Homo-oligomer: A and B are copies of this chain.
Amino acid sequence: MLNFNFKNPTSIHFGEGQIQAISTEIPLNARVLLVYGGGSIKSNGVYQQVTDALKEHTWFEFSGIEPNPSYDTLMKAQDIIKAENIDYLLAVGGGSVVDGVKFIAAAALYQGDANNEDGSGESDPWDILAKQQPVTKALPIGAVLTLPATGSESNGNSVVTRDGTKLSFSSNLVRPLFAVLDPTVTLTLSDRQIGNGVVDAFIHIIEQYLTYSVNGKVQDRFSEGLLQTLIEEGPKALAADTKDDLEVRANIMWSATMALNGLIGAGVPQDWSTHIIGHELTGAFGIDHARTLSIVLPALMKVRREQKREKLLQYASRVWQVTEGDDDTRIDQAIRLTEEFFEKMQVPTRLSDIDLGSKDIDLLVERLEQHGMTALGEQGDISLAISREILTQAL
């Protein structure tokens, strides 16, 4: 096991009816900005429950956060924050809303870089993303999660898009102070949202698991338990006779939070190359985040099978109960089962499934190079050439 520091102070309120917890989690004297995406929270009753819980609070609202939240949209929230002296942000939505609120929270109190190029000391919150300027202050955040997927509700990570480029930042100061996880609110999600969410969470776990062994037995078994849970429960959330089963939704929701709250990744190597390559697919072609991952991961498993051999065998045996045949047969079988699981979740596993071909790979590799993504993976040895090989394998 590697040395680590782990701390996750987000207060989780899990279960039916827990939205009311925001009435006590947010101080009564706060000036709250309720931030959400489109209108779905109005049609499914979540908006009503949230505003009921805020009836003793002073609150305002800002909506229109889109999937892959854009810098331009997020910066528009600064006007109301200044005008109304907002001092608490409440994100109500999926990972995009929570990620967006994190940037809004950091941008609102960003003091800039006194050493910036023109020496003016002026603050441009874009620098948090583009120059990885450290966040030293941020507005406090609470979250009501409506789509289990990203784990953003209890971590400090945020991904923001500007002009087709996805950039991220991370800070403990933007980790939500509390998160409400009520699985009943996920019953109105579309199959596409469920499929994407389950696959996103699944691949978060894989990125912290499928590397090389450091004999972190607790981390490995926790990861395997989460993967097995998503494999069992994910398809049930799409099947006609089980899609309204609240227990299925609860197990998916808790798995997705645990998948990326820092716990399973503490003390083990990580490989985020599937995400990084996938980001370029979203940036260049507007593909849903999870659907980029389900295309890249199986290809990455095939191309990196030697480097990941030991863990692929463990994955085959413990997650898929594949124990017959020689090593390579078992690895092949595990990769095939992974693809079949993605297909059950109704996400693509090939570039051809989304009408991309070999002609598009140059652009993706070029963008990886532009973004400095030239040494990916747990050992930093996934070069641009290997990323190209992975994309070619995914054709």
Which A residues are closer than 8 A to B by beta carbons?
1-18, 21, 215-218, 220-222, 224-226, 228-229, 232-233, 247, 250-251, 254-255, 258, 263, 266-267
Contacts and interface: CB of A to CB of B under 8 A. Distances in A.
Nearest to A258: B218
State the 10 A-B residue pairs at the shortest beta-carbon distance, nearest first: A221-B225, A3-B15, A9-B9, A7-B11, A217-B229, A6-B12, A217-B251, A1-B250, A215-B247, A218-B254
Contact of A4 (B8, B14, B229): B14
Most buried by B among A12, A228, A266: A12
30 contacts: A1-B14, A1-B247, A1-B251, A1-B254, A3-B15, A3-B17, A3-B18, A4-B12, A6-B12, A6-B14, A7-B11, A7-B12, A8-B8, A9-B9, A12-B266, A14-B267, A15-B267, A215-B247, A216-B251, A217-B228, A217-B229, A217-B232, A217-B233, A217-B251, A217-B255, A218-B225, A218-B254, A221-B225, A254-B267, A263-B263
Contacts of A3: 14-18
Given A15-B3, A218-B254, A225 B226 contact: no
Contact of A221 (B2, B8, B12, B228): B228
Nearest to A11: B7
Nearest to A3: B15
Contacts of A247: 1, 215
A255 B266 CA distance: 13
B5 A12 contact: yes
A22 to B, nearest CB: 13
A215 B183 CA distance: 14
Given A5-B12, A8-B9, A222-B222, 13 more contacts: A1-B247, A4-B12, A4-B14, A5-B21, A6-B12, A6-B14, A8-B8, A9-B9, A14-B266, A217-B255, A221-B224, A222-B225, A254-B267
A254 B250 CA distance: 27
Contacts of A254: 1, 216, 218, 267
A197 B225 CA distance: 25
Nearest to A246: B1
A273 to B, nearest CB: 26
A217 to B, nearest CB: 4
A15 B267 CA distance: 9
Contacts of A263: 263
Contact of A229 (B221, B255, B267): B221
A7 B17 CA distance: 18
Nearest to A18: B3
Contacts of A14: 1, 3-6, 266-267
A329 to B, nearest CB: 23
B9 A7 contact: yes
Most buried by B among A3, A10, A216, A258: A3
B218 A229 contact: yes
B251 A218 contact: yes
Contacts of A21: 5
Contacts of A267: 14-15, 254
A176 B8 CA distance: 14
Contacts of A222: 221-222, 225
